[in-house]
A and B are shown apart, each in its own frame.
Chain A
Amino acid sequence: MKNDEIVGLLKGEFGEAVKASAELSGDLTVKVDLSKLHEILQFLRSCPSLEFDYLPFMTAIDYSVYPKPKTKEAEAKLKEVKTKEEKIKEDEEKLTEAKEEEAESLKEEIQKLKEEIVKAKEEAEKLKEEAKEEEREKQFDVVYQLRSIKHSHDIRIKAEVGEEDIVESATDIWSSTGCDECEIYDMFGIKFKNHPDLRRILMPEDWVGHPYRKDYPLKGKEGDDEYLDTRLPEGQLKKPEHTRMP
């Protein structure tokens, strides 16, 4: 099935819940609403013309420090406008003192700058409009990469998830999501309901914090040393700190 056909089918079935779709070098990404996520996944699995029977991986993304390139570009454009306006002011001041010949060229320059400013402002407006897409309400995305071995097509499903949201587990559809969901729960702190055994899979069970979040310090937090301190026999610690703090 072609990518646009898949999107058409999904939109026909779920309407508003399918928020956006994008294609990058043949890879289809569909953004869906969290409340309908489980139904959509179920549909993708069971619909005979789609039949996504294989889930290569599932993961999450933390967007809290996402660079937002378009917003930045718009800001840069506005800055350019400001410097140009200052230049015009300077030129006008010069104009009052200048002789005739110079005055001609200065006037021309001012005219040119004014035209440029109008153009730049228009572009900045446009960029701002586009930059609205980059604004997000929620911190995370959960990502499902699906593949149909029978029909040989792929799809990536994304849904925005906040810190308090609880995602419905997909273990009843693809049992391989069990470990992935444990990992997401461990590293991002996103909770899943109806999961048969949701617990930390990589970090120790009583670890504090979720390391894949962008605000988690790479070299560890202050309290981390306690983990070893409480588990090793006394008098065994050679260094004051287990982590090389900067």
Chain B
Amino acid sequence: MGVENVFITEKLDKLISWGRRWSFWPLTCGLACCAIEMMAASAARFDFARFGSEVFRPSPRHADVFIIAGTLTKKMAPVVRKLYDQMPHPKWVVAMGSCAETGGVFDTYSVVQGVDIVIPVDVYMPGCAPTPEALQYAWIKLQDKLRKEGSLKA
């Protein structure tokens, strides 16, 4: 950025991060059963709109949060990496469920043992499947991260 004054950028970052953390736009990408819980979280009962995140974007170019909801197979891994690369900065990744975290119960030839092999992850979220509340908790954690670290560098 052109602004050199640390005081101004800090304050500006705070303001921008405040805006960003209440308007995450997740990418519509469900890989396995966890995606069902992700859908439930965005539906009326759990209501993701309270976090300003109800807009699931079908294009990675509009999104800034990537929820890896489900089992990542080796065949899918290059595709997920490509989607991640297509998202504009700033971007964050939530690994939802045991499968996305570590491969979960699928310790097999075809499953990537943790999505952090393929893309960097900000929030890990255990559970099989995690409840919609857990996804919202992860969301709060992500907001915490933005509050503490700002978002201009992300």
Chain A residues in the interface with B (C-beta under 8 A): 202-204, 211, 216-221, 224, 227-228, 231-233, 236-239, 242-244
**Smallest CB gap from A241: residue in B:** B113
Question: Residue B61 at the A interface, CB < 8 A?
Answer: no
The verdict on A233 contacting B75 (CB below 8 Å), with A211-B110, A242-B113 known, is no
Contact B109 A239 (CB under 8 A): no
Neighbouring A residues of B85 by C-beta, 8 Å: 233
**Smallest CB gap from B116: residue in A:** A238
Chain B residues in the interface with A (C-beta under 8 A): 74-75, 77-78, 81, 85, 103, 107-110, 112-114, 116-119
Contact B117 A244 (CB under 8 A): no
> What is the distance, in angstroms, from A193's C-beta to the closest C-beta of chain B?
27
**Smallest CB gap from B107: residue in A:** A244
The verdict on A227 contacting B74 (CB below 8 Å), with A238-B116, A239-B113 known, is yes
Beyond A219-B109, A232-B77, A236-B118, 15 extra complex contacts between A and B, CB < 8 Å:
A204-B75, A211-B109, A211-B110, A218-B109, A224-B74, A228-B77, A233-B81, A236-B117, A238-B116, A238-B117, A243-B107, A243-B113, A244-B103, A244-B107, A244-B113
Contact A203 B118 (CB under 8 A): no
Max count, chain B CB within 10 A of own CB: residue among A217, A238, A242: A242
Contact A232 B118 (CB under 8 A): yes
Contact B112 A220 (CB under 8 A): no
Contact A203 B112 (CB under 8 A): no
Q: Which of A218, A236, A242, A244 contacts B74 (CB 8 A)?
A: A242
Contact A232 B78 (CB under 8 A): yes
Q: How far is the CA of A244 from the CA of B117 in the complex (A)?
A: 12
> What is the distance, in angstroms, from A31's C-beta to the closest C-beta of chain B?
32
Neighbouring B residues of A238 by C-beta, 8 Å: 116-117
Max count, chain B CB within 10 A of own CB: residue among A221, A236, A237: A236
Do most interface residues of chain B lie in helix, strand or loop, or is the interface mixed? loop
Contact B109 A220 (CB under 8 A): yes
Neighbouring A residues of B109 by C-beta, 8 Å: 211, 216-221, 224, 243
Neighbouring B residues of A218 by C-beta, 8 Å: 107-109
Neighbouring B residues of A203 by C-beta, 8 Å: 75, 110
Q: How far is the CA of A227 from the CA of B78 in the complex (A)?
A: 10
> What is the distance, in angstroms, from B121's C-beta to the closest C-beta of chain A?
10
**Smallest CB gap from B108: residue in A:** A218
The verdict on A219 contacting B114 (CB below 8 Å), with A203-B75, A232-B81, A233-B81 known, is no
> What is the distance, in angstroms, from A89's C-beta to the closest C-beta of chain B?
52
Q: Which of B78, B107, B117 contacts A237 (CB 8 A)?
A: B117
Neighbouring A residues of B117 by C-beta, 8 Å: 228, 236-239, 242
Q: How far is the CA of A234 from the CA of B81 in the complex (A)?
A: 12
> What is the distance, in angstroms, from A199's C-beta to the closest C-beta of chain B?
13
19 A–B contact pairs at CB < 8 A? Answer: A202-B75, A203-B75, A204-B74, A211-B110, A217-B109, A218-B107, A218-B109, A219-B107, A228-B77, A231-B77, A231-B78, A232-B77, A233-B81, A233-B85, A236-B118, A236-B119, A238-B116, A239-B114, A243-B107
Closest 7 CB pairs of A and B: A220-B109, A231-B78, A204-B75, A244-B113, A238-B116, A244-B107, A238-B117
Q: Which of B78, B81, B112 contacts A242 (CB 8 A)?
A: B112
Neighbouring B residues of A224 by C-beta, 8 Å: 74, 109
Contact A228 B107 (CB under 8 A): no
> What is the distance, in angstroms, from A230's C-beta to the closest C-beta of chain B?
9
**Smallest CB gap from B75: residue in A:** A204
> What is the distance, in angstroms, from A242's C-beta to the closest C-beta of chain B?
6
Neighbouring A residues of B74 by C-beta, 8 Å: 204, 224, 227-228, 242
Neighbouring B residues of A236 by C-beta, 8 Å: 81, 117-119
Q: How far is the CA of A87 from the CA of B140 in the complex (A)?
A: 76
